[in-house]
Structure 1
Amino acid sequence: MAAAAIFLLAALIILPVIQTRRMVSRALLSEGITNRRSLGAQQELNRISAQRPVDAYFRALEKERGEPNALEAKLFRAGFHQSSAPAVYTICRLGSVCVGFLASYALLSNLLPPQLPSFLAFAGSALLGLGCIVIPGIMLDRFENAQKQVYRRGFPDFMDMMITCADAGMSLEAAVERVGTELAGTHKWLGIQLSIMNLQLRAGKPLREALRELADRVGLEEARSLAVLFRQSEELGTSLTEALRVYSDEMRSQRILRAEEQANALPVKIMIPLGLCIFPVVMMVVMLPVIIRMKGIFF
């Protein structure tokens, strides 16, 4: 199993990384850039690394056109855009089952009395090992939530820059392209998603569909509300700049309310470490002199 795991690691992760570096080196040499640490080489490397998730998304889109795969979409939302991400995720689930089974079997075989049959330790280890299959799913959910927080932090800047571009008289397609270029340096992942949206608009997809797919990729309620806002503004013929400004103020108010909610929940969360760590020490400091004095009086 260890040899198989090492072989899969080398075949799915290490070998593609080496091949990618070789391709980047050849591309730099073909463009006349000999020093990989120069400013031009670093810019080219950043462009290639930013283009890789975009290519991965469109490859997944072509593959999932007939049969959508929820796992690859979830992995893409979590930030794992490599083509080998589903295979690595499956291997991690199998590895967690094997590790959980071996660890629980070693623990139960030492804790259980020798009078009990060994089948009980094996059955308990199998159940615990099967329970460990949910650990990669939990970690994937945590990665997805962390990626959503990254998108949520960059979304107000996206709204402000869209308002600025709309006030300057730019069209929505040109505004999305300009904002995506500007956000690529400060908010990398949001800039990548906007680049995907810009390519979809260039391919002829309507703006409402591109915004809806952007909301599905990032998984934010703010993006879904923005897609609905664009659709309503297009159908009703209202001013898009005013609608964006009102929505930006509302979104900032929601961020303030969310921060206040987290701050108000902090005293309740801090009661657990307070009760487990500080309260016993305080009780010991208060009651120890009383116990010593009572011992001297009654005993």
Structure 2
Amino acid sequence: MSFIDTESLVIGLSALGAFLTILAIGMPLIQRDGLSSRLKSVAARRDELARQQRENLSQSRRTRYQKKKSVDLMKQVLDKLNLQNVIASRELKNRLSQAGYRSQNAAVVFSFARLALPLVLAGLFLLFAGANSDLDLDLGMQLLIAAGLAVVGFYLPGLLVTNTAQKRQKTLMQNFPDALDLLVICVEAGLSIEGAFTRVSEELVDSAPDLAEEFGLTTAELAFLGDRKQAYENLAERTGLPATKSLTTALLQSERYGTPVSVALKVLSQENRDSRMAAAEKKAGALPAQLTVPMIVFFLPVLFIVIIGPAIIQSLENL
């Protein structure tokens, strides 16, 4: 049996040590740096998000600029026609606020629509009548129809705003008794009126966003307006509801005469619950009268067929 001499063993161990040393030095360079890679991916994602944010901001600025240009053009046209008083009308702003249009340019857009829509509708009809020779209408009838369309175009924006305001008021009225109950709970818990309004707006933001918005605006006005009475009156004007007017009156009387706010809110809440119950009973009482026509049209013919049908079939078979 042959043995490895000492010199060969030393050379082999030296070579192995050198190999391990080189491997230890080169492994960090060969292995993938996971942290560096993650940092690079995070930086790349951050740059991408920043680019998207800049693009969205640029698009938003372009959109606002285009809207501002359009609104400025509308305002110039209305100024040339001396319609500044119409734009500044408090009644018009209240109507738009009740419909949910609180933008500073809402009155300008509404007034311009009432001015331009009649011309657009009448002009489009006249162009259609002139291009379509199949219409058997003389010039007088065409002008009469165009005038009718102009009248419709003049009243259409007002009808849309009124319809939107009525729908919004109906939604507000449905959720107002619950908001009053929450106000009573918050006031009895020791919160101030501002804190109660803030808490109610936070609680109703999902179930009743319109009412939460109104209470939030009232909270802001109570904080920044010098006259609290004006803040309460603005709430009544923005909504146009008798219930909010009653709430405004109750709060003003409580502040003026020092009566407990919780007592006034309890009475008002009970009145609103009774009013809602009375409205439900009224609808239930009117239901039989409303069902008369559908029963006559749909139910009685089927009943007559079921009752008289067999006798008619039997008599036909006996013939």
TM-score normalised by length of structure 2: 0.58
| Residue 240 (1) aligns with residue 261 (2) | yes
How far 1:118 moved relative to its partner? 1.0
Any unmatched runs of 5+ in structure 2? 1-45, 53-83, 315-319
1:223 alignment partner, one of 244, 247, 252: 244
- 1:231 partner amino acid: L
Match of 1:208 in 2: 229
Matched, 1:148 2:148: no
Partner of residue 283 from structure 2, selected from 254, 262, 279: 262
Q: Is the Cα–Cα contact under 8 Å of residues 250 and 264 in structure 2 kept in the other structure?
A: yes
- Does 2:140 correspond to 1:120? yes
Q: Residue 97 of structure 1 contacts residue 131 of structure 1 at CA under 8 Å; is this kept in 2? A: no
Please give the alpha-carbon distance, in whole angstroms, between the structure 2 residues aligned to 1:129 and 1:274: 39
Q: For 1:118, give the aligned amino acid.
A: D
Distance 2:190 2:223 in 1: 20
Give the equivalent residue in structure 2 for 1:171.
Answer: 192
Q: Match of 1:241, as an amino acid?
A: S
Once the two structures are superposed, residues 6-25 of structure 1 have per-residue CA deviations (whole angstroms, 9 ceiling, x without a partner) of xxxxxxxxxxxxxxxxxxxx
RMSD of Structure 2 on Structure 1 (CA): 4.3
CA distance in 2, matches of 1:152, 1:245: 17
> Deviations along 1:227-270, whole A, 9 cap, x unmatched?
11122223333222122112111110001111222232333344
- Does structure 2 conserve the Cα–Cα contact (< 8 Å) formed by 1:229 and 1:243? yes
Greater Cα radius of gyration, structure 1 or 2: 2
Change (3 A) 1:166 1:140: same
Deviation of the 1:290 alpha carbon? 11
Identical-residue share of aligned pairs (%) = 27
- Aligned equivalent of 1:138: 159
Distance 1:269 1:89 in 2: 38
Distance 1:269 1:97 in 2: 42
Superposed displacement of residue 101, structure 1: 7.2
Deviations 1:76-101 (A, max 9, x none): 21122344434544565444664477
The CA deviation at 1:278 is 3.2
Q: Tell me, in whole angstroms, the C-alpha distance in 2 between the residues paired with 1:237 and 1:225.
A: 17
CA contact (8 A) 2:99 2:166 kept: yes
Q: Could you say which residue in structure 1 is the equivalent of 2:32?
A: none
Question: Does the residue aligned with 2:101 lie in a helix, a strand or coil?
Answer: coil
Unmatched tracts of structure 1, length 5 or more: 1-28, 37-62, 294-299
**Contact 1:102–1:125 at 8 Å: present in 2 too?**
no
